[in-house]
């Protein structure tokens, strides 16, 4: 693996693994008011397109990295939607 590919590989690992601490933080603290629903909705859609792109050009790294990111970002998106629905129920009481 030459230097540039190594650089790309480490960059992909960092920008993928970065979502692990956020997912852990959101699951354990349930503190989602500071999380933007817009971000995770758009980001999750983008990651799905990256997966399709990776599949179509036969790039396992792009497909795998974005599959991991998808699992993490859709978890945060799910928690945020739940949080938002709960807030709405509370405000109706």
Q: Where would I find the beta strands (DSSP E) of 17-87?
A: none
Cβ–Cβ under 8 Å, residues 65 and 12 = yes
Residues 23-52 that bind a second copy (CB under 8 A): 24-26, 29, 31-40, 42-43, 45-47, 49-50, 52
Task: Report H helices in 1-93.
Answer: 3-17, 19-29, 37-56, 60-92
Residue 93 beta carbon to a second copy: minimum distance, rounded to whole angstroms: 23
**Residues in touch with a second copy (CB under 8 A):** 4, 7-8, 10-22, 24-26, 29, 31-40, 42-43, 45-47, 49-50, 52-53, 56-57
């Amino acid at each position: 693996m030459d230097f540039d590919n190594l650089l790309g590989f480490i960059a992909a690992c960092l920008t993928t693994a970065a979502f692990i601490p956020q997912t852990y933080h959101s699951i354990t603290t349930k503190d989602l008011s500071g999380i933007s629903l817009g971000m995770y909705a758009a980001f999750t859609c983008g990651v799905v397109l990256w997966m399709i792109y990776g599949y179509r050009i036969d790039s396992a790294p792009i497909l795998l990295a974005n599959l991991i990111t998808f699992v993490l970002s859709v978890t945060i998106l799910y928690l945020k939607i739940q949080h938002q629905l709960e807030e709405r129920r509370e405000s109706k009481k």
